[in-house]
A and B are shown apart, each in its own frame.
Chain A
């Protein structure tokens, strides 16, 4: 008990009125619903005296004052100490405004009714189920019902959700089922501004993910995941992806492709499998448990075996770039053209022709594809990408193994949905694969790939050719003779190929020279339309340029696809993964 000295500087009220002999003044807080005041009073004062003070302070009549302390109403005859009112404690005050205290009768009635709660878990004394819900002014019971349903403001949904099924597990199952069965719902959820707000806070998301104990386990076992989570850039990107459903679909498509490619690579399947079991499964189950359908689970581990319903997507990248069947390569027509195929298909890489680009090969059709363009664009904009890609150790080994085993490479190509609808293309690729693969090992070739300006130049070539195609379709036959199909209809292609083959064969050496010139020119920053290759024989020039670019594009595309697969799957280039173990 804190006793203050008799001389209280904080004596709000002028006089202490230390009636009692001891005169210890205590400060009691008097609290009304609206107000709170500190009143100094003698410790042993009576309630009456206290009320006097209070009435002065609160400007109310004493008999209007009702003091309550510890659930007890202070009667005038009591003393403060009798109730245990000490310094610093709070006494409640109600100022009655012409209300009279109820007589005992109704109060006892209410007290008996007060505990009529039927289902209360604790035992209630006086369980007198008096029908009175309240003698004095209690609510009208019937009108409760409509308001019950209409109340609850924004929590109505929550209420509906949660209260419908008392069992939380059930609820979760429901949610999960709903989300699974209705992908739209997921996207709707993603579009919800609240969710987006949440997602725009990487720290928050990270914390959420990390806080999941299963996730933590996962992270321990696979430190890459924690790296991933700790990389703010990556998280941000991931979240951008998650927020933007279109991007997400794009990403998932990439991953699908990537995964299907990976499967075909020696050792790749194992790696995939390993990854799946190590990471994805626990991640999935952890995610499912928490969220039912965690949007991040898709990003983190993506699909297995890349079979997901293809959704419509905005960005064109990589639809079938060789839309019309068989670009230049006569091989697809089989038979007679085989010889020329090999001739045209295998132009040995030389110094002047680092890529060994065979003019007789792929065709203009490729350029019409926005996919290729975007590819080229990507490459030119991001030389680092190519460099990374090519310098990744597994890349080399992968290419080597691919080179040794063109079957596999062709399989990769086949599985690639881009080529799925185009068997001729696949044929063509198969034939050319050995060449390409060797080329890929060629450092010269690689350096061209990593040179952004070179890529840009190639792009321009492509654009030029495209323009040319539209502007001067009459040129196409000559291009065709160069072994380039060009026309998207592609119907004429096979017919032309036999015709083209001899010419392509004969033009090889010439083409090489021209190509060299071409390259030099472009390296010099010529740019402009492909035909601007100014050089000699128009037809040959264009053909060669076209084929040059085509080959290069294909090469680029192939490598890019491979790399994207790996990149997408592992979320960042990671050495010593797939490819480091020879199946």
Chain B
């Protein structure tokens, strides 16, 4: 198979779901400073991919209801082309990233972004994002809210669910 050594930039879009409230309220409510409640999506091949309550989803970059990201991290580039990526995502969607596997603490959009980023570029996403659930859960407030949050699923809605035909 002749592969072109094309290289596709990979970016990580980071959104603060709390719109700044976490930064303000977290010292009071949690006892520690959290700068945001992070949601991430990986942008590659002209699309933003993310994992939500409905499964792996994609949309045009900044196309979710979250609008524009609060920050963007350049993850490098990848040689994985779109088709290959699609195969990869399909495979993921059947296994570890099906919609019902979503858990807001343990297996969420950031988990997905991390995995995809590593697949595409070999690099992980910034640790402050992946550390967020454990930070929250280490506070009594987080523990108290856990039952509620567990039942929640964040679904910014891209309407392009991978694996759903």
Q: Which residues 136-163 of A sit at the B interface, judged by CB distance below 8 A?
A: 136-141, 143-144, 147-155, 158-159, 162-163
| Contact in complex: A33, B8 (CB < 8 Å) | no
Known contacts A71-B121, A152-B155, A153-B152, A211 near B27 by CB under 8 Å: yes
Q: For residue B1, which residue of chain A has the nearest CB?
A: A101
Segment at the B interface, from A87-95, A233-241, A319-327, A333-341? A87-95
Known contacts A139-B58, A194-B148, A150 near B157 by CB under 8 Å: yes
Segment at the B interface, from A109-117, A224-232, A262-270? A109-117
Residue A388 lies at the interface, judged by CB distance under 8 Å to chain B: no
| Contact in complex: A212, B27 (CB < 8 Å) | yes
Q: Which residues of B contact A118 (CB under 8 A)?
A: 62
Q: Which residues of A contact B8 (CB under 8 A)?
A: 107, 110-111, 114
Q: For residue B8, which residue of chain A has the nearest CB?
A: A111
**Which of B18, B21, B65, B141 makes the CB contact (< 8 A) with A208?**
B141
Q: Which residues 1-23 of B sit at the A interface, judged by CB distance below 8 A?
A: 1-4, 6-11, 13, 17-21
Task: Tell me the count of chain A residues lying within 8 A, CB to CB, of chain B.
Answer: 84
| Contact in complex: A141, B60 (CB < 8 Å) | yes
Residue A537 lies at the interface, judged by CB distance under 8 Å to chain B: no
Residues 95-137 of chain A: 1 if any B CB is under 8 Å from the residue's CB, otherwise 0? Answer: 1110111111011101101111111111011100010111111
Known contacts A111-B7, A211-B31, A96 near B87 by CB under 8 Å: yes
Known contacts A111-B7, A212-B28, A151 near B156 by CB under 8 Å: yes
**Which of B46, B97, B122 makes the CB contact (< 8 A) with A134?**
B46
Known contacts A33-B92, A94-B84, A159-B65, A71 near B120 by CB under 8 Å: yes
Q: For residue B86, which residue of chain A has the nearest CB?
A: A137
Shortest CB-to-CB span from A100 to chain B, Å, is 7
Q: Which residues 78-120 of B sit at the A interface, judged by CB distance below 8 A?
A: 78-84, 86-89, 91-92, 94-97, 118-120
Interface residues on chain B, size class = 35 or more
Interface core residue of B74, B118, B122, B145 (most chain A CB under 10 Å): B122
Q: Which residues of B contact A197 (CB under 8 A)?
A: 144
| Contact in complex: A121, B46 (CB < 8 Å) | no
| Contact in complex: B6, A107 (CB < 8 Å) | yes
Q: Which residues of A contact B19 (CB under 8 A)?
A: 162-163, 166, 168, 171
Residues 197-208 of chain A: 1 if any B CB is under 8 Å from the residue's CB, otherwise 0? Answer: 110010110011
Q: Which residues of B contact A100 (CB under 8 A)?
A: 1, 83
| Contact in complex: A32, B91 (CB < 8 Å) | yes
Q: Which residues of A contact B4 (CB under 8 A)?
A: 103-104, 107-108
Q: Which residues of B contact A122 (CB under 8 A)?
A: 11, 72, 74
Q: For residue A105, which residue of chain B has the nearest CB?
A: B4
Segment at the B interface, from A62-70, A360-368, A527-535, A560-568? A62-70
| Contact in complex: A158, B46 (CB < 8 Å) | no
Q: For residue A72, which residue of chain B has the nearest CB?
A: B79
Q: Which residues of B contact A101 (CB under 8 A)?
A: 1-3, 81, 83-84
What are 22 A-B contacts defined by CB distance under 8 Å?
A: A73-B79, A92-B119, A96-B87, A100-B1, A101-B84, A102-B82, A104-B4, A104-B6, A111-B8, A113-B45, A133-B46, A138-B60, A143-B159, A147-B157, A149-B65, A150-B157, A151-B156, A153-B53, A155-B152, A198-B141, A204-B141, A213-B27
User: A interface vs B, CB < 8 Å?
Assistant: 32-34, 63, 66, 68-73, 75, 90, 92, 94-97, 99-104, 106-108, 110-111, 113-122, 124-126, 130, 132-141, 143-144, 147-155, 158-159, 162-163, 166, 168, 171-172, 194, 197-198, 201, 203-204, 207-208, 211-213, 290
User: B interface vs A, CB < 8 Å?
Assistant: 1-4, 6-11, 13, 17-21, 24-25, 27-31, 43-47, 52-53, 58-69, 71-72, 74, 76-84, 86-89, 91-92, 94-97, 118-123, 140-141, 144-145, 148, 151-160
Given A68-B79, A124-B9, 9 more A-B residue pairs with CB atoms under 8 Å apart are A33-B96, A111-B7, A117-B61, A122-B72, A133-B46, A133-B60, A162-B18, A194-B145, A290-B25
